[in-house]
Amino acid sequence: METLAFGTLNSLHTLGVGVACAAFVTSELQRRFELTNVNVKAQSVRILCRSLPETCALVTTLLVALALRLFSNPDRNVSMTNPAEIQVWEQIKQEWPVLMGADTLLAVQAMLRLLVWVMVVFRTSQCTTGSALSGAPGTLFLAAAGARSLLAAQTAAYGLDGPLGGSFAVFCEVASAAWLAAMCSKIGSGSVCSGAAFAMAAWAASRHYLNLSGAEPGGDYSHDKLFILAHCLEFFGSIALLAQSVRCVAGESENQGRTLNPRRASWDGFVYLVLAIQQALPAYYFLTAFAPSQSLVGEGRPFCLLIMANLLQLAFLLCALAFYVAGLLGTSSTGDEGEGQIRAQVTRIRV
């Protein structure tokens, strides 16, 4: 009971901080871009109505996760013949009584990522406009998904436990790689920047890696390096996504008479939003659940790299979402002002 109360208190504290940050960002956007006259509720309802397929898919995904949590056996991936492993698993369930293990956070993240890639593929097949993931972001996320799929196929040391873990989590990772490949074939791949980011990620993974795959000192750490490589690639992918968002907003500010494509705006915003939400899960996981231990270090400072990379990735995705919202509302308000000026001029001419 004490553990449950402590976990609830931490959840409420995290929720309070999130609400405070959201309120601050909202007020700052309204002040910076003079959006006080924008009807945010009406715009939100319009975007929600135009992105009903994405919203329904998100609700369905969360319902599937809830059903697996309630009706799936959380002990199915634990070896019941090893007393030490059973003891550790029971302690984990006591510390995470609601999720039945912190790995559930990463499993839900895999489900949300898969949802984003599937929706982008379906949307890009229906319209000719670009996507937020076109170019370097999609290529880097594809490379990260490929690394995760290869890791899941080669070793079970990095497999997820709990009600949403096991083969289901592996399926989500492999399916994500397949859908990302289809997405990149539709919206285009990266260029030299993607290659440079991949080289830097590979260098970081070769210098900082864990020792979870059971390799002895001086042995083969390829699986551990592959795990770090996936996180580094996603980190650089979030940077590329933020850079692309900044370029889009800068391009819209140069042409203030331009109007946004409402169909693209709705599902593009869904991509930004869900990517930011899913990244909050591993950021919280590596910050609180994955305790650093020297016995798990292969070389370098992998725990510091994982914590900082996931936290910075969350910050970059939130900034990308903020730039998207600012560009959307700013362009909409500019378009409304332009229409008002044209109507005023027409009225004067008639008079």
Identify which of 32-41, 253-262, 334-343 has the greatest average pLDDT: 32-41
Cβ atoms of residues 126 and 261 within 8 Å: no
Place of tokens 């590329």: 240
At 6 the pLDDT is: 44
Phi, psi of 210 (to 5 degrees): -90, -175
Q: What is the pLDDT of residues 132-150, one digit of tens each?
A: 787 888 889 999 999 999 9
Residue 149 belongs to some domain of the structure: yes
Residue 194 belongs to some domain of the structure: yes
Instruction: Tell me the C-alpha distance between 274 and 133, whole Å.
Output: 13
Specify the DSSP element, H or E, that contains 298.
strand 297-299
Confidence bin at 49 (pLDDT 50/70/90): low
Q: Where in the sequence is the domain holding 185, given as residue range(s)? A: 33-350
Instruction: Tell me the C-alpha distance between 98 and 89, whole Å.
Output: 14
Residue 19 belongs to some domain of the structure: no
The alpha carbons of the chain give a radius of gyration, in whole angstroms, of 23
Q: What is the pLDDT of residues 63-113, one digit of tens each?
A: 999 998 888 877 776 766 777 777 877 887 788 888 888 889 999 999 999
Residue 196 belongs to some domain of the structure: yes
Residue 329 has pLDDT above 90, yes or no: no
Residue 334 belongs to some domain of the structure: yes
Residue 44 has pLDDT above 50, yes or no: yes
Residue 341 has pLDDT above 50, yes or no: no
Residue 313 has pLDDT above 90, yes or no: yes
Identify which of 187-201, 204-218, 279-293 has the greatest average pLDDT: 279-293
At 161 the pLDDT is: 85
The mean per-residue pLDDT over the stretch 6-17 comes to: 48
- Mean pLDDT computed over every residue of the chain: 76
Residue 254 has pLDDT above 70, yes or no: no
Residue 342 has pLDDT above 60, yes or no: no
Residue 11 belongs to some domain of the structure: no
Phi, psi of 41 (to 5 degrees): -65, -45
| Least confident residue range of 165-169, 260-264, 282-286 | 260-264
Residue 238 has pLDDT above 90, yes or no: yes
- Number of domains composing the chain: 1
Cβ atoms of residues 182 and 171 within 8 Å: no
At 312 the pLDDT is: 92
Closest CA to 238 of 309, 290, 316: 316
Instruction: Tell me the C-alpha distance between 281 and 20, whole Å.
Output: 18
- State whether residue 188 is helix, strand or coil: coil
State what percent of residues in the chain have pLDDT above 70. Answer: 68
Place of tokens 């770090």: 228
Residue 6 belongs to some domain of the structure: no
At 4 the pLDDT is: 40
Residue 220 has pLDDT above 80, yes or no: no
At 121 the pLDDT is: 86
At 327 the pLDDT is: 72
- Which residue type, as a one-letter code, is found at position 117? W
- State whether residue 315 is helix, strand or coil: helix
**Residue with the larger pLDDT of the pair 251 and 348:** 251
Specify the DSSP element, H or E, that contains 209.
strand 209-210
Residue 231 belongs to some domain of the structure: yes
